[in-house]
Chain A
Amino acid sequence: MILIAILASGCSTAPHQYQYQYHAESAIGIEQLKAIKVSNRDCANIDRTVSYVEKQLQLRGIDSAHPERLSASDAEYNTTAKIIIWSLRIGCNNPNRYQS
């Protein structure tokens, strides 16, 4: 939810041009995933960012998984990834959503 708030305000202090690691064969770790901060400035590259995060789920083998069947660590990974993805999808398509 914090990610969404950051996305709406566009005041993220995190770097927007984080390094993609397409060369890696294994998924990035949970800490690296959590370090991905998105804001409305990432809307221009929404497809690229969403693809990258979805790729991580695929590499971890939990894409299209039922959340009830995931282990605690996989569930955390899945939720973190999905929050990034939906923050972008919702925030970029609905710019006024989080404005009070």
Chain B
Amino acid sequence: MKRTLIAIVCFSAGLAAAECYVRSNIKVARQSIFGAPTDIQRIVTPDAKGFQCVLRYRLNINTNWQTVEGVATAKTEEDACARAIDVGRASILEEPAPKTVRSDTQMVCGDITDIRVHPVQINDVIWESEVDIHTIPAERPYFQYKRTQCRMFVERDNKAQNLYLYQGVICRENLSAHSKWRVVDKY
């Protein structure tokens, strides 16, 4: 009994002496960008300062495709679009820690299509960012096959509560840097 009382007193004293504090952890995650901007769509219009370039392209950040938009003006069309790429990239890299929240409304006209990842079939002609990059980093780099640029992709299919993972190969339709891609194989 005596021992129990001593234990209770000691425990209470320990509680009284305990100090609580809030510990904060800040984790900064570096964003991993795979490859260069791809599936670039642009609308260029004459502007008082020269040309205005509205760019929409896809960038793979942390293995997820994201649509990036940038608008810039310059004396030449090429300069305007080169700046628009940088403007878009800067805005998306800033997103995890925005300094302010802004809201605006813009009317966007044009034939810029909305690209998103979706199931594909062999022989489909697609934008590169319509299929995911490979889950294995070693399989992500581009390679040459029949003198065209190709890369492997993966496709996730969730059916009947089972996750199926397919992989495949897409290759550029032609040698142009902005060409679409053909699904050469999927298995």
Contacts and interface: CB of A to CB of B under 8 A. Distances in A.
The answer to whether A and B interact is yes
Interface of A: 1, 4, 64, 66-68, 78-79, 82-83, 86, 89-90, 93-94, 97-98
Summarize A's interface: helix, strand, loop or mixed: helix
Contacts of A67: 166, 186-187
B145 interface: yes
Interface residues of B, number: 17
A79 to B, nearest CB: 5
A73 to B, nearest CB: 14
Given A66-B121, A66-B122, A97 B145 contact: no
Contact of A1 (B121, B139, B164, B187): B139
A97 to B, nearest CB: 6
A94 B187 contact: no
Contact of A89 (B138, B139, B145, B186): B145
Contacts of A94: 143-144
Interface string B127-153: 000000000101101011100000010
A34 B181 CA distance: 31
Contacts of A86: 152, 169, 185
